[in-house]
A and B are shown apart, each in its own frame.
Chain A
Amino acid sequence: QKEVEQDPGPLSVPEGAIVSLNCTYSNSAFQYFMWYRQYSRKGPELLMYTYSSGNKEDGRFTAQVDKSSKYISLFIRDSQPSDSATYLCAMRYQAGTALIFGKGTTLSVSS
């Protein structure tokens, strides 16, 4: 079992839809959780960063962490064609350790 599991998709939705992206993990020691967005032939860019459990909102994006279920989510409201990209979850045990990434979910938003 990999440490971080993420459904690769692809996920296709119409413009304006609410998108839910998820990752599960196996090690309860993870404390820091991030979501990155990667456009084709570009490096990943940081979208959301949360510590421990709870929710964090930034514009149309909401990140949720449920440590009891070892499950993290990214919600995108009012999705736009420009949101079409690969979304990677990432996590680490403590500050000073390298991030462990999921394989990414490819999202396509059609206009």
Chain B
Amino acid sequence: GAGVSQSPSNKVTEKGKDVELRCDPISGHTALYWYRQSLGQGLEFLIYFQGNSAPDKSGLPSDRFSAERTGGSVSTLTIQRTQQEDSAVYLCASSAGTDYGYTFGSGTRLTVV
């Protein structure tokens, strides 16, 4: 597609439920990133995939968070046993390589009630 696509755009879930957030990067982009944006907190790095290399998971806040990228394209971020502090906008970005800027999607707004 023309841009980075994220789904759903909004998600309301009950505390303790699991959620899956999806990201479709720009075709041909080898790098894919997940960030979290909370009010007043800026963008917090979560995880980074580059080609077939092992992902950089150093930003994941707890073992309730995991992500995978299938076939070097679509990525899914999973949050297990959601907590209210997980409420945020989850942004996905892709880039053509390691020396390029990112193209972001519009994000998934997650609300845990």
In angstroms, how far is the closest chain A Cβ from the Cβ of B8? 14
Docked CA distance A4–B16 (Å): 33
A30 CB-CB contact with B under 8 Å: no
Q: Is the CB of B42 within 8 A of A43?
A: no
- One of B66-74, B78-86, B101-109 contacting the partner: B101-109
Partner of A43, one of B40, B93, B99: B93
Considering only residues 68-108 of chain A, those with a C-beta below 8 Å from chain B are 88, 90, 95-104
The one of A32, A49, A97, A102 in contact with B42, judged by C-beta atoms closer than 8 angstroms, is: A102
Report the minimal beta-carbon distance from A90 to chain B, rounded to whole angstroms.
8
Tally B residues with Cβ within 8 Å of A.
Answer: 24
Cβ of A63 < 8 Å from any Cβ of B? no
Q: Does any Cβ of B come within 8 Å of A34's Cβ?
A: yes
Cross-chain pairs A/B with CB under 8 angstroms, 27 sampled: A36-B104, A42-B106, A43-B4, A43-B91, A43-B104, A43-B107, A44-B91, A45-B103, A45-B104, A49-B101, A88-B42, A88-B43, A90-B43, A95-B97, A95-B98, A95-B99, A96-B98, A96-B99, A98-B48, A98-B59, A99-B45, A99-B102, A100-B45, A101-B35, A101-B43, A103-B41, A104-B42
Query: What 15 new A-B contacts, CB under 8 Å, besides A46-B102, A88-B42?
Result: A43-B93, A44-B43, A44-B91, A45-B103, A90-B43, A95-B97, A97-B56, A98-B33, A98-B45, A98-B56, A99-B102, A101-B42, A103-B40, A103-B41, A103-B42
